[in-house]
Amino acid sequence: MTRVRRAGIQVLLWAAPLGVGLALLVLFSQARWFRAGPDVPTAGDERAWNAMWTAFALAGLGCAVGSVAALAWLARAWRRGIRPTGLEWFRSGLNLLLALGACWMWFRS
């Protein structure tokens, strides 16, 4: 297996934490546009809305890809008789937990 392919698989398997991390990075880097006061338009700053929607898309895409990749990897490991390590169980659980949290936030509103 080539290094590029192995790195790509790892990115897919860690997609939910990476997506949430990138979403937080976007929000923190655009924090100056999240402001309140008399000089701010009623609907808020358009750049803040763009940052929020970008962060939402990054987190949602990461959670969707990561949970599907984790479940596919676990199914493949089960079919081949491979026993997952503690880190692999942690990664899969983290992907699924973040995906469930995203679904809860989406359907709660």
What's the pLDDT score for residue 36? 76
For residue 43, the SS3 value is coil
pTM for the model: 0.81
**Based on the number of CB atoms within 10 Å of its own CB, is 7 exposed (0-12), middle (13-18) or buried (19 or more)?**
exposed
Q: What is the pLDDT of residues 30-43, one digit of tens each?
A: 988 887 777 776 67
Q: What is the pLDDT of residues 11-22, one digit of tens each?
A: 999 999 999 999
Count H helices and E strands in the chain, helices first: 4, 0
Q: In sequence order, which residues have a C-beta less than 8 Å from that of residue 84 and are 6 or more positions away?
A: 74, 77, 92
Say if CB 104 and CB 47 are below 8 A apart: no
Say if CB 59 and CB 102 are below 8 A apart: yes
How many whole angstroms from its chain centre is CA 64? Answer: 8
